Amino acid sequence: MSITGSTLTAVFVSRAILGKIDMEVMLNSTLAGGVMMGAACDIITGPGFAMLAGCIAGAVSALGYLKLNKILQTKLGLHDTCGVLYLHGIPGTLGGFVSVICCAAAEYNFGPIE
């Protein structure tokens, strides 16, 4: 579900910014949902939350690849030819934050009152 969400969001972001579907953005952003769920796969069990996490990862990865890549090249001289930062770095960091938030929220019982 997370990979599905990241794929749909990557298509939307690519079409919104470029006016077409860029395959390089699609290749990186579709896997970003799986990378983000890697840390929280046993914590996020609901399909809606998994899809939401994937949507966030796909949007961040696509926006990073389309916009942040050019900024890093011109301002800092960093060139990420394969998009590793946008496929593994940023979604992995977000996955770590999501797992911390889920663990903190698991302490509280949000179930029905008995």
Higher pLDDT among residues 40 and 87, named by residue: 87
* pTM of the full structure: 0.83
What does the alpha-carbon distance between residue 12 and residue 71 come to, in Å, rounded to a whole number? 22
Q: Does pLDDT of 109 surpass 70? A: no
- Token digits for 53? 């996490």
pLDDT tier for residue 111 given thresholds of 50, 70 and 90: low
* Region class of 77: left (phi > 0), else alpha (psi between -120 and 50), else beta: left
Residues contacting 105, CB < 8 A, separation 6+: none
Do residues 100 and 42 touch, judged by C-beta distance below 8 A? no
Q: What is the mean pLDDT of residues 56-85?
A: 88
pLDDT tier for residue 110 given thresholds of 50, 70 and 90: low
Sign of CA dihedral 47, 63, 22, 20: positive
